[in-house]
Amino acid sequence: MKIEDWYRENFESDLLGKYITLQMISPLLDCYTSLFEISVVGISEKGRNIPMIQLGNGPRKFLAWSQMHGNESTTTRAIFDLIKFFGQTKHFQSEINEFLNSYSFYIIPILNPDGSVLYTRENANGVDLNRDAQNLSQRESVCLRSVFDKLEPEGCFNMHDQRSIYGFDNGKPAIISFLSPSSDQERSITSARRTAMEGIVRMNRYLEKKIPGNVGRYDDSFNADCVGDTFQMAGVPTILFEAGHFKGDYMREKSRELIFYSVLSFFGLVGEKSEINFEEYFQIPENRKNYRDIIFRNVKVLQSPNLLDIAIQYHEVLSEGLITFDPYVEEVGNLKNIYGHIDEDLKGREILTKPAENLTDNVKVFEFVKNPGWIDDLLA
Ligand SMILES: [Zn+2]
């Protein structure tokens, strides 16, 4: 069976969409208690449990955590696909048994359960946990650090979502990105960094076949307040995963699937087992902030005699348990070096606003209304 076929039929369909909370994953974890070791490793600032699941009993220990940022659930959904994969007894049995005997893979699916309910990046106290690695001012930060100290893993996965604004100089968008964080200002290639780079190269080789030219790497400026940098400082290879936007898929079910394959390829369950050279890491293109959700080019607006470009970016808003995507005008001007996931040349057509006002930044778009056809007819 091909892994893609397994995935299509078996991914964790109880978890869909971007709003994923502890309450939603708890019944799923309950289903796995007879198969895997599940424990509560901490309590959030608002008193919610922080569960951890252990896949396998092998000597090689890895630690992963997702939803450190509460509104970044794509990798959490991928984690439950992975748990389902390792928990099934029909397909890939020799690969799975070898994995479960070789590795102990510890996963914290939601490190920030309060933020997951509020759909915020930060925790309940408004603290970005990925800037709290030195202060350890929050319970969630202490929880992760104590699990890390206790387990002494040989590697870590720091799993996130990236915004839809990342692309490359060649105009392609970044669908999945990685980083092997620095552990000093000089960005030295320490042994931990090199090992993390090798893991990223392995995953990139696999992903390149699925999404050629859409895998990126983040800027490696050092920041000791970030968890990845701090864990690399401690000599433990730590990979930042960033699930991004696949054209048209705002729920990110596609990048979820790609993260699933990434982790399997990291552990050698899929893909080729070939020699890895860490230097290949630097051939992965670096992310630029050069993408927006929608760009309309060459439009006429009230305030300018010249044709201008307009960038529109969605703001995600939690409303009655659902995430809505509200479009906002982000920039009006010349956007030559910015690309749009939707990118339309409107060839001098006028954008009319209601009320008739100048089109400026940070205005919410309530509705897109296309020119009625009779205007085209008149111009023809
Ligand atoms: Zn994040």
Residue 341 is inside which H or E element, if any?
strand 339-345
Q: What mean pLDDT is predicted for residues 302-327?
A: 93
Residue 379 has pLDDT above 50, yes or no: no
Which position has the higher pLDDT, 374 or 79?
A: 79
Residue 118 C-alpha to ligand 1 middle, in angstroms? 15
Distance from the CA of 359 to the center of ligand 1, in angstroms? 32
Radius of gyration of the chain (CA): 22
Phi-psi map region of 135: left, alpha, beta (phi>0 left; psi -120 to 50 alpha) = alpha
20 pLDDT more than 80: yes
Q: Could you tell me the two tokens for 248?
A: 């048209």
Say which DSSP state 173 is in.
B
Q: For residue 312, report the distance from its CA to the centre of ligand 1, in Å.
A: 22
Percent of the chain clearing pLDDT 90 (strictly above): 89
Determine the average pLDDT of the residues in 151-165.
Answer: 98
Residue 302 pLDDT greater than 90, yes or no: no
Q: How much is the average pLDDT of 272-278?
A: 91
Contact residues for 283 (Cβ-Cβ < 8 A; gap 6+): none
If you measure from the C-alpha of residue 351 to the centroid of ligand 1, how many angstroms do you get, rounded to a whole number?
A: 35
Q: CATH fold of 3-283, please?
A: Aminopeptidase (3.40.630)
Torsion of CA 338, 215, 62, 29, to 10 degrees: 70
Pairing of strands 176-179, 103-108: unpaired
User: 108: number of CA atoms within 13 Å, CB side?
Assistant: 33
Compute the distance from residue 9 Cα to the ligand 1 centre, in Å.
Answer: 29
pLDDT at 143 over 50: yes
- C-alpha 143/C-alpha 129 separation (Å) is 11
Contact 293, 312 (CB under 8 A): yes
Q: In angstroms, what is the span from residue 187 Cα to ligand 1's centroid?
A: 21
67 touches 129 (CB < 8 A):
no
Nearest Cα to Cα of residue 70 among 146, 28, 127, 131: 127
Range 12-26 average pLDDT:
97
Q: Where are the alpha helices (DSSP H) in 175-271?
A: 191-210, 227-233, 253-266
Percent of the chain with pLDDT over 70: 97
For 196-210, the pLDDT digits (tens) are 999 999 999 999 999
CA neighbor of 196 nearest in space, from 162, 163, 229: 229
Give the Cα separation of 286 and 180 in Å (integer). Answer: 12
**Residue 264 in contact with residue 270, Cβ under 8 Å?**
yes
Question: What's residue 377's pLDDT?
Answer: 42
Model pLDDT, residue 322: 92
* Res 375 pLDDT > 80: no
d(CA 130, ligand 1 centre) in Å: 8
Q: Find the 66 Cα to ligand 1 centroid distance in Å.
A: 9
Cis peptide before 355 (omega within 30 of 0): yes
- Residue 323 structure tokens: 């995430």
* Residue 161 Cα to ligand 1 middle (Å): 5
Q: Can you tell me which residue has the tokens 């309950």?
A: 30
Query: Which pair of structure tokens corresponds to residue 230?
Result: 């701090």
Check residue 353 and give its pLDDT.
80
